[in-house]
Chain A
Amino acid sequence: MKGEKLLEEMEHVDPELLKEAEGYQVNRARQKKQLVTIIAAAAAVVLTVSAVGLGVGMNLRQREGNGTGQEESVSPADETGTADGTADQEGNESEHGESWETRVSSQEETLPEAETELWREKSWEEKTLPERFREFDYQGAQYSLRAAAEASRAGEKLADVTLRGEDPYTGSLYETTGEVFRLNGFSEKTAVVLRFNESGEQFVAMSPDYRPATLGAFLLEANAEELITVPGKAYYRYYDAENRVHTVTFEGVTKEAVLSWLRENAAAEGVDFDSVMNLPENVVSYINCGVSAADFERINVSLNFTKSGYVWTNLFDVGLSFHVGEEAVQQFEQYLKTNLQGYEYVHEANPEAGTTEEEGAEPGFETSQSEGAGTVEE
């Protein structure tokens, strides 16, 4: 099942719950009461952001030294864990004159036994300190606790704050106090360290209100070089003549390649995310590159590229978007196509019928057949 299916399943939500959701209003009085008084506020640090010197010159057409070259063929068993390792050696020539082998994947897997205990939100007593107090306000912005932070990551102290938590079952409000420190390497607009006075535990706290002016500002303020890791996969989506969607998986995407592309486009202006979402229909992500930010507990989220020249990421919960231009996006597409091995899962509805041909598929990508619909990568 994919996200789309789960989204569609939401149609079966109990009507009573729909009715309740439509009428829900936060308690404004309580919200006001929860405003945090900042006892000490540090002076804001203005970061000078410059696109110049952010490192240009990456030759996106240069092959990565990661072993995905054209002469290298990958064993189906190595790649997919197929028991017998058999593969249809179906030639598939790309537009670059490279040849690919076809892989066959098997997706049989044993499910763990379902736990019968009902899921429920923990009571106040069951929650740990950071589970009780997960958000706080600092300098007019909200911050949200994420990964635990080692002591060495805290820089100078910025403020004392009061955190308030609410028992979801009784509605009772509780308070505790903490200290806010700079997260070394990061602008405080992006993330800080919160240390609980009660326990001494400290956590990275990121701000979902953060809105960088440019991609370059994001690289600096969010300390992207440290923050981002690149698990290595990117998905390129295209449509065939019959308007069927195909997704080609590229493996071996490197952090350096992603960062270099980001640096090259550092001048790209930040765009309101909701505005990007409301742009005409051509703004559909057609490249999705996996990125992670462990500090923010965002693992294998994405850096998305749209045909109309936008790049957006959900590293900050909902989205940051930048206008980089169509050419820049095409440049990343070319990087994938030229430097990395691409393959495509093909859903085979009836394995008995033999090899599935992907009619109208864009040439140049290996096709992998899957016997389970859940294996079709999107």
Chain B
Amino acid sequence: MDDRSIINLYLARDDQAIAETEKAYGALLVRFSERILENREDAEEVENDTLIQCWNRIPPNTPYEYFRAFLLKIARHLSFDRLRTMKAQKRNVEIVELTREMEECLPSGGTTEDEAEGNLLREALNRWLRNLAPDKRAFFIRRYFFAESIREIAEATGAKESRVKVTLYRTREALRTFLEKEGYRI
């Protein structure tokens, strides 16, 4: 069943929508969440929660053109929520590393975190991403949204690992410059 038909099931409040979503995207959601949580059982619970949230969000949302991304965003949010409540020691080291890499993007200075939060930052991040060259944007999103390793990005895109590494380094530098110019001192 294609995305449009599945969404129409949601809109009709037909619970077959959930079964169809699971059939089409269940494995992807578990795989994606497992990458963040490094735990199969937790990832399966996230998948279930994602399907429930999807049911609750459609309607009013009608993500005909981006249903896959819509699901992944919910799953990512739920995975990070769960990560926060997990025993700190058991945090996925890849996420620890991703966090550290993101810290490289933060301009030095020191202020409260509220100033950098919220819609403005989200809007700014999207604006910044849109102005990146496609390869930089793809590598950055695959790394920091999909939490893929350098190797996975290289394999998925056909780029050399070294190119991915260097490009990510440059892109983090660019994000830091951008955030500085936008007035974020974090």
Contacts and interface: CB of A to CB of B under 8 A. Distances in A.
Interface of A: 1-22, 24-26, 28, 31, 107, 109, 111-115, 117-121, 134-135, 141-142, 144, 168, 207-209, 239, 243-245, 274, 276-279, 281-285, 301-302, 314, 317-319, 372-375
Nearest to A281: B90
A18 B140 CA distance: 10
A284 B80 contact: no
Contacts of B106: 1-3, 6
B62 interface: no
B66 A19 contact: yes
Given A3-B102, A26-B135, A274-B151, A317 B128 contact: no
Interface stretch (B4-12, B14-22, B41-49, B142-150): B142-150
A343 B185 CA distance: 24
Given A1-B113, A13-B73, A208-B162, 12 more contacts: A15-B69, A18-B73, A22-B146, A26-B135, A31-B158, A119-B127, A121-B132, A121-B174, A134-B170, A243-B87, A285-B96, A373-B112
A260 to B, nearest CB: 25
A121 B131 contact: yes
B130 A135 contact: no
Interface size class for chain B?
Answer: 35 or more
A10 B182 contact: no
A281 B141 contact: no
B93 to A, nearest CB: 5
A314 B113 CA distance: 25
Nearest to A166: B133
A2 B105 CA distance: 10
14 contacts: A3-B99, A10-B141, A13-B73, A13-B126, A17-B129, A17-B137, A18-B72, A18-B145, A22-B142, A22-B146, A168-B133, A239-B89, A314-B100, A373-B113
Contacts of B88: 239, 243-245
A109 B126 contact: no
A9 B76 CA distance: 11
Q: Is the interface of B mostly helix, strand, loop or mixed?
A: helix
Contacts, number: 225
Contacts of A274: 149-151
A317 B169 contact: yes
A144 B182 CA distance: 28
B13 interface: no
A4 B99 contact: yes
A112 B93 contact: no
B138 A14 contact: no
A14 B126 CA distance: 6
Contacts of A113: 183
Contacts of B114: 373
B125 A18 contact: no
B186 A17 contact: no
